[in-house]
Amino acid sequence: MKILVTGAAGFIGSHTAEFFANEGHQVYGIDNFSSYYNPALKKLNLADVEKAGVTFIEADIISNLKEKLPTDFDYVFHFAAQPGISATTSLEEYVQNNIFATQNLLDWVKETSPNLKLFVNIATSSIYGKEATLPETALPKPVSFYGTTKLAAEQLALGEQRAGKLNACSLRLYSVYGPRERPEKLYTKLIKSIYDQTEFPLFEGSEKHSRSFTYVGDIVKGMAAVIGKERKINGEIINIGSDVEYTTQQGIELIEKIIGLKAKIKVTPPRPGDQLRTTALIDKARKLLSYEPETSFEVGLEKQVDWYREKFL
């Protein structure tokens, strides 16, 4: 199969592109090396991606893709986005990178891949709002620019499907962690602070927040499961995650146990738009994709610590 992965130098996109290449597919990856975080970290990911046989092209999906990319893809996995809940990221950036960029990609795909089997939009549990403990049929109530614009991107893709212009589905991911996790996210930041013996900023009250922390390898299995199932999942929204909850405090304690050192916690003001609880209801994923997360939380965190040690110590 000929597969395009956007955001292929990022956290989850890099793992997905690498997996499909190792499975023998013809994989193209694109990324624009946004300055949201240090591009050098993405280039570390890219080294592994290219080693697996992925053809990488530096490109921005908001610009003219015709000049950059080949045509006639069988599958597109759209990870590229303005990520996270950040007070320093403007609404304009979220709208540009999550809404306009997605529509530009959709328009390009319709024109250049008329036989596309499936456009896979990668969405987020942030679409649900503060309590992401709901089935896919629930009314979305996002409370952040990120969740709102990702909902819009999802509906752009599904709108093209409803109009009969392409096959598409949307996968809503839950609190992904593991090797290559972005530097501003919880566990990479925590691991770094412990090894550097610096203060770890913890948003007030967030130690009680509950999450469906999902190992990136289990997320990739969800990506792989859509291949060949386009008729079954065309037009569907599907939660992909773990249905086991842990608090942020439990995660911190596991990292401290794995490393053998205590974190220096510094409590900071609460973050607006943060989710209080997420629990992935994955009955639909089990039914349609035979999806089942397998990696325990502690094993996944051990793998993340091992990755950090290998790359940065």
Q: Where are the domains of the chain?
A: 2-178+213-244+279-295, 186-209+245-275+299-312
119, 168 Cβ separation under 8 angstroms:
yes
In this structure, which topology does domain 2-178+213-244+279-295 adopt according to CATH?
Rossmann fold (3.40.50)
Report pLDDT for 164. 98
The answer for residues whose C-beta is within 8 angstroms of residue 221's C-beta and 6 or more apart is 291, 293, 294
| 308 is known as an active-site residue | no
Does the domain at 186-209+245-275+299-312 match CATH 1.10.10? Answer given as no
Q: What is the mean pLDDT of residues 130-150?
A: 95
- Closest C-alpha to 234, from 64, 119, 106, 73: 119
What amino acid occupies position 99?
A: I
Q: Which two tokens stand for residue 127?
A: 């679409």
pLDDT at 282: 98
**pLDDT of residue 86 exceeding 80:** no
pLDDT in tens, 151-195: 999 999 999 999 999 999 999 999 999 999 999 999 999 999 999
Answer whether residue 272 shows pLDDT above 90. Answer: no
Distance (Å, rounded) from C-alpha 173 to C-alpha 171? 6
Is pLDDT of 84 > 90?
A: no
Q: Which amino acid is at 144?
A: S
9-23, 76-90, 168-182: which has the minimum mean pLDDT? 76-90
Q: What is the mean pLDDT of residues 124-142?
A: 95
- Arithmetic mean of pLDDT, 100-110: 98
pLDDT band of residue 275 (cuts 50, 70, 90) is confident
The whole-angstrom separation of Cα 75 and Cα 3 is 5
Residues ≥6 apart with Cβ < 8 Å to 298: 254, 258
Number of other CB atoms surrounding residue 261 within 10 Å: 12
**Of 81-95, 196-210, 235-249, which one has max mean pLDDT?**
235-249
Catalytic residue among 146, 177, 215, 291: 146
